[in-house]
């Protein structure tokens, strides 16, 4: 399985986890930033 194909389910999981915190963090921009930061952190890691 290619690394980029793995990013899609990981991004979806991050999005769903962020949505579950929607009551605590009502700002969609803040959640989007967290998801982007998470994906960028994964991209910076060496491919296994």
Q: How many domains does the chain contain in total?
A: 1
Domain span including residue 29: 3-44
* 3-class SS string, 3-48: HHHHHHHHHHHHHHHHHHCCCCCCCHHHHHHHHHHHHHHHHHCCCC
pLDDT-derived band at 5 (thresholds 50, 70, 90) equals confident
Higher pLDDT, 19 or 46: 46
- 6-42, pLDDT tens digit by residue? 777 777 776 766 665 554 545 667 777 888 888 888 8
pLDDT value at position 48? 58
pLDDT value at position 26? 52
| The overall pTM is greater than 0.85 | no
Residue 47 has pLDDT above 60, yes or no: yes
């Amino acid at each position: 399985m290619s690394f980029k194909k793995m990013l899609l389910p990981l991004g979806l999981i991050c999005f769903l986890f962020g949505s579950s915190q929607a009551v605590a963090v009502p700002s969609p921009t803040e959640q989007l930033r967290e998801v982007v930061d998470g994906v960028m952190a994964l991209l910076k890691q060496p491919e296994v």
